[in-house]
Amino acid sequence: MSSHALPAEVDGGIEQLIHNALAPQVEAIDQGAFPGDFLRAFGALGGFAAALPAESGGLGLGLPAQIDLIARVARTCGTTGFLAWCQAACAWYLQLSPNPEVRARYLAQVAQGQLLAGTGMSNVVKHLAGIEQINLRGHRDGQGYRISGALPWVSNLGAGHLLIAAAALDDGTYVMFAIPPGAEGYSLRACPAFSGLEGSATYGVRLKNVFVPAADVLSTPEQFDAYVRRFKAGFLLLQIGIGAGLVQASLDTIQKANQRLDHVNRYLDDQADTLRGDLDTLLAQTAALAEQEESAPLLGILRARAQGSELSLRATQSAALHAGAAGYLMSSPTQRRLREALFVAIVTPALKHLRKEIHALEQRQAA
């Protein structure tokens, strides 16, 4: 994961911040502490703005640099890598929104980490893939919309955070919008304990007849299909950064374990050189797709995202087998990464969802 694209002072600042402010709290984050201060500091250094153009306050380096930044966070802490994805994805939605008002209201603050933001898009993404019913429904009200419904789990939320989500209207069309903190009828519910990602500030969201003014609309029904096509590549490719960070960290573990145990570890599947080769291939494919942004072929993107999940599962399991009992200690990052990798494979689009979409596209291409 090269970082040559980042200006040297940003690169150095980010490395230092991850080392000094994130690494010491990883266990606490795994047990439920939300790394809000880290995310705000990371944003102040440009950590969510690599893919945004300079005129939006970004670094103008494109999606590959943003994927690399997420991977660098996830190498230290998978939960925080996921939160960095949430924040970068929200900045990406805002950047691509055809509505200049919503960009003016939120883009700079989200990109700089001053306003933390959750993306409640799993349900609509799964709904559009024919996997589940839509949870949020709305109707027009003057220039805006009224939205009601619930989302079972959305991360990177809390008092003072922004929510971005989408709802179906009475006529079967969709609208995507931002809900600012304190909006009337918007509330959060605590989730049951998860087996990982406990520090991700994940809540159940309730919207009760919440008014969304036109200025908070990211995409009107007329714009929706084209808008989703535009942001989908970034949404998926940025997630590969979370998996890449976990694979890189697993390679570090394997290398360390092999200093003592190579004579026996060499009999395991998924040796470091195999995993390293697969990671390099995946990163090269991801970077090539990310350079193309919205014109990248969807099938290639879905396959790369699925490979990111598969490789994370293989690499974290191999690291655990290489580390042995030492990696099974509750204090070991090796067992934590197994749980984080599983999350990469179940968060939307889950591996099963990706395989369904890949299958459908392959069938269509073959017909």
- Say whether the peptide bond before residue 24 is cis (omega within 30 degrees of 0): no
Of 178 and 197, the one with the shorter C-beta distance to ligand FAD is 197
Q: From residue 347, how far is each of 74, 96, 250, 352 by CA, in Å?
A: 15, 23, 20, 10
In the complex, minimum distance from the CB of residue 338 to ligand FAD, in angstroms, rounded to a whole number: 15
Q: Which residues contact 270 (CB under 8 A, 6 or more apart)?
A: 314, 315, 317, 318
Grouping H, G, I as helix, E, B as strand and the rest as coil, residue 45 is coil
Measuring CA to CA, which residue among 66, 136, 98 is closest to residue 229? 98
Cα 173 to Cα 55: distance, rounded to the nearest angstrom? 32
Of 42 and 153, the one with the shorter C-beta distance to ligand FAD is 153
| CB 313, CB 341: distance < 8 Å | yes
Q: Which residues bind ligand FAD (CB under 6 A)?
A: 86, 118-122, 131-132, 152-155, 194, 197, 200, 202, 346-348, 350
Cα 134 to Cα 191: distance, rounded to the nearest angstrom? 20
Q: Which two tokens stand for residue 285?
A: 């494919």
Of 32 and 300, the one with the shorter C-beta distance to ligand FAD is 32
H or E segment and range at residue 114: none
In the complex, minimum distance from the CB of residue 157 to ligand FAD, in angstroms, rounded to a whole number: 8
Measuring CA to CA, which residue among 121, 144, 145 is closest to residue 134? 121
Of 76 and 79, the one with the shorter C-beta distance to ligand FAD is 79
In the complex, minimum distance from the CB of residue 133 to ligand FAD, in angstroms, rounded to a whole number: 9
Cα 298 to Cα 263: distance, rounded to the nearest angstrom? 43
Q: Which two tokens stand for residue 273?
A: 């050189």
Of 276 and 355, the one with the shorter C-beta distance to ligand FAD is 355
In the complex, minimum distance from the CB of residue 345 to ligand FAD, in angstroms, rounded to a whole number: 10
In the complex, minimum distance from the CB of residue 83 to ligand FAD, in angstroms, rounded to a whole number: 9
Cα 121 to Cα 238: distance, rounded to the nearest angstrom? 15
In the complex, minimum distance from the CB of residue 121 to ligand FAD, in angstroms, rounded to a whole number: 5
Backbone angles phi, psi at 177, to 5 degrees: -155, 165
Of 73 and 275, the one with the shorter C-beta distance to ligand FAD is 73
Compute the Cα dihedral for 295, 300, 305, 308 and give only its sign: negative
Of 224 and 287, the one with the shorter C-beta distance to ligand FAD is 224
Of 76 and 200, the one with the shorter C-beta distance to ligand FAD is 200
Using CB positions, name the residue nearest to ligand FAD. Answer: 122
In the complex, minimum distance from the CB of residue 81 to ligand FAD, in angstroms, rounded to a whole number: 13
Cα 42 to Cα 6: distance, rounded to the nearest angstrom? 14
Backbone angles phi, psi at 158, to 5 degrees: 160, 180
Measuring CA to CA, which residue among 62, 61, 64, 106 is closest to residue 87? 106
In the complex, minimum distance from the CB of residue 343 to ligand FAD, in angstroms, rounded to a whole number: 6
Of 121 and 217, the one with the shorter C-beta distance to ligand FAD is 121
In the complex, minimum distance from the CB of residue 222 to ligand FAD, in angstroms, rounded to a whole number: 24
